[in-house]
Amino acid sequence: MENRPTMLGPKGLIKKHEFVRTIIQSLYSLGFQKSGASLELESGISYKSVEFGLLESQILNANWDACIDTLYGLKGLTDEARASALFIVCRQSLFEFLLRGDDSSALSVLRKQISALHVGREKVHNLAFGVLSLKEMGFGTVDGDVILESRKKLLSEMEKLLPPPFILPERRLEHLVEMTVNGQIDSCMYHNTCDPISIYEDHRCGRDQIPTETIQILTDHKNEVWFVQFSNSGEYLASSSCDCTAIIWKEVKTSYQAPVESWTLNLLVA
């Protein structure tokens, strides 16, 4: 019988393994390296998937053939994602062959491996042009740290190409919490505040957030008012009525004084 994943939450909708993994990712992204490593050790759950951990080891150790085999063996990848991942691995191996002066191996990668990938001719042509340009300029001595950094950069590119569950989207827990807060704001009937929303409790504005008492009645219009609009600063109020009269009011302390300007459509036309 297949083991069912442990579920969390009042409705049992959250997989414990996924929840802990996103917490670990959040700890690392916030800079709590020791806490993240400690939670990985205690929970037995790794932030990095087994597949990506294997790819990381193969890339950092320049085991390109094994890396390519691993990518071909990953299930759930689209053809486009797989081809793009293979392309950046082959590109790295090609340049490292060139750095070592192994031109024949570099050309073999370009002709047999990269050309066979469905990544578009333009990418392949640009890569070939880059190879020729580098050969003309000459490489000189390349520090081992530079090569290691280029492999780490390759890993960062790989993270952006691989989908879940191989890689978690960046700052996943923060994104989920922010989505929840936005959802609560959208469903808040009386929402009328610019203050930061606390995540300690569900957000809900009271009716006191919305003005509900009449404190002043403006009576200068002689007919039914159809439209009102405050200025961006709130200092002025414009109103118009069905008899084509428009009035601008100026705020004085907590009320609006007599109109500062008034006109009708007939006057404007004239």
Q: What is the pLDDT of residues 54-85, one digit of tens each?
A: 999 999 999 999 999 999 999 999 999 999 99
Q: Which residue has the higher pLDDT, 9 or 256?
A: 9
Q: Peptide bond preceding 165: is omega within 30 degrees of 0, i.e. cis?
A: yes
Backbone angles phi, psi at 206, to 5 degrees: -85, 170
Q: What is the pLDDT of residues 134-189, one digit of tens each?
A: 665 555 556 678 889 999 999 999 999 999 999 999 999 999 999 999 999 999 98
Q: What is the pTM of this model?
A: 0.70
CB 17 within 8 A of CB 6: yes
Report the half-sphere exposure of 203 (CA within 13 A, side-chain side). 24
